[in-house]
Structure 1
Amino acid sequence: MSIAQNLLNIKSQLPESVTLVAVSKTKPVADLMEAYHAGQRIFGENKIQEMTEKWEQMPKDIQWHMIGHVQSNKVKYMIPYVKLIHGVDSLKLLKEINRLALKWRKKIDCLLQIHIAEEETKFGLDEKELKELLASEEFKTFDNIRVVGLMGMATFTDNQNQIKREFQHLKTLFDTYSQLKTENCQLKTLSMGMSGDYQTAIECGSTMVRIGSSIFGTR
């Protein structure tokens, strides 16, 4: 099937309450434009340089989401245009995003990445770190960021029960901290689920899925 057909097929399976991020990393602009012409306006990239190059070449009504691990020294390149930063996993990174957003007189929406998988290689805050970050006095001074939700990736495994447990754990944290409503933290978005597990993620309460290979084919 074509990219456009894959996209429409996936969209037909998603509830209205779930936002689709088309993960376009490593794919050429021509592939993204095929998805764009089929109606897709939200794209996710995991490298800031690649995302910036695509932003420069493509229509300006696209929402760009940074979904990969973010290095503090690269943040400045995406501040002018990024819509949502998914993988924020430290107070230090939030501080840098806030500093640069202030410089651009913008407010930048962020998701805090929570480590829910068993693999050590995945980034993210644990439950204790999440609590400490949101309670810290320094965090409360960040006027140019908005923490709008949580993000997490399940373990890469065929064990559906384990994946479900991890997603349910993240949903529980999301529900707990959704009650915390401050000027720079109001959780509305729960980003979990990729090509292999997005249906399970939606069953567990995901409001945003990140799908790449099921749209654009394998990398």
Structure 2
Amino acid sequence: MSIKKNYKNIKDQLSSHVELVAVSKTHPISAIQEVYDLGQKVFGENKVQELVEKYALLPQDIQWHLIGHLQTNKVKYIAEFIDTIQSVDSEKLLNEINKEAGKHNRKIKVLLQVKIAEEDTKFGLEMEEAENLFKKFIDGEFPNVEITGLMGMATFTEEENQVRKEFEKLKSLFDNLSKIKPLQTLSMGMSDDFPIAIECGANSIRVGSAIFGSRDYSI
């Protein structure tokens, strides 16, 4: 299918309360512009250098989300314009985001990335670490950051029960933290598993290949 048909197919499956983050990593400017012209304003990128290059060439009202692993020494390159950093997986990184956001006199929205998958290759905070960081935020330790929710990636498996169990685990933490201070965003689900994620309570999904097609890894 074409990008237009792919995009419409995804949007038709979503209720109004579910945010779609179109994951544009490795895809060309022309493809992103096409999806933007269909009304999409929220895009996700994995790598800082690619994100900075695309930011300079695309409409300025795009809300960019950094969804890949972020090194502390690269925060400064996106702090001026990034809408949301979904991949906060350490207190060190959160401190750096807070510092760089302060330099630009702004608050940066972040999601705490929680490790719910069994795979060792996945990044993320342990549940207890996420809870402790959130409490520090509540106590005012990161004044230039707004923790708006949680993000997680399920194990890459065809075992739907396992995926569902991992998503439910993150939803439970989301609900518990929301009792302390209401959170807005539960980012779970990608091209292969977003319907399950939505069933488990996700209100933000990250979809790339189901919109743009397979990635060109030579970029």
**TM-score band w.r.t. shorter chain:** over 0.9
How large is the RMSD of aligned CA atoms in angstroms? 1.3
Deviation at 1:131, TM superposition (A): 2.3
- 1:22-43, Cα deviation, whole Å (9 max, x unpaired): 0000001011011111111111
* Gapped regions of structure 1 (runs ≥ 5): none
Identity in percent: 54
Counterparts of 1:67 and 1:74, CA distance in 2: 14
- Pairing of 1:1-219 with structure 2 (within 5 A): 1-136=1-136, 140-181=140-181, 186-219=182-215
Cα deviation digits, residues 89-121 of structure 1 (max 9, x gap): 111101000001111000000000000000011
Shift of 1:132: 2.4
Distance 1:37 1:176, change over 3 A: same
SS at match of 2:22: strand
Query: What are the Cα deviations for residues 181-218 of structure 1, in whole angstroms up to 9, with x where unaligned?
Result: 2xxxx411000000000000000000000000000001
> In the aligned structure 1, how far is the partner of 2:129 from the partner of 2:19?
27
Q: CA deviation at 1:127?
A: 1.4
- Post-superposition offset of 1:14: 0.4
Quick one: distance in 2 between partners of 1:137 and 1:215? 35
The separation in 1 between residues aligned to 2:81 and 2:125, in whole angstroms, is: 26
Query: Per the alignment, do residues 22 and 137 of structure 1 end up closer, same or farther by CA in structure 2, a change over 3 Å counting?
Result: closer
- Unaligned 5+ segments in structure 2 are none
**Aligned partner letter, 1:210:** R
Q: TM-score, normalised by structure 1?
A: 0.95
Are the aligned partners of 2:86 and 2:113 in contact in 1 as well (CA < 8 Å)? yes
How far apart are residue 9 of structure 1 and its match? Answer: 1.1
Provide the rounded CA distance (Å) in 2 between the counterparts of 1:131 and 1:66: 22
Q: Distance in 1 between matches of 2:176 and 2:82?
A: 28
CA contact (8 A) 2:24 2:44 kept: yes
Instruction: Look up the SS of the partner of 1:196 in the other structure.
Output: coil
Paired residue type of 1:196? D
The count of residues paired between Structure 1 and Structure 2 equals: 215
Of stretches 104-113 and 33-42 in structure 1, the one that deviates more from structure 2 is: 33-42
Give the Å deviation of 1:128.
1.7
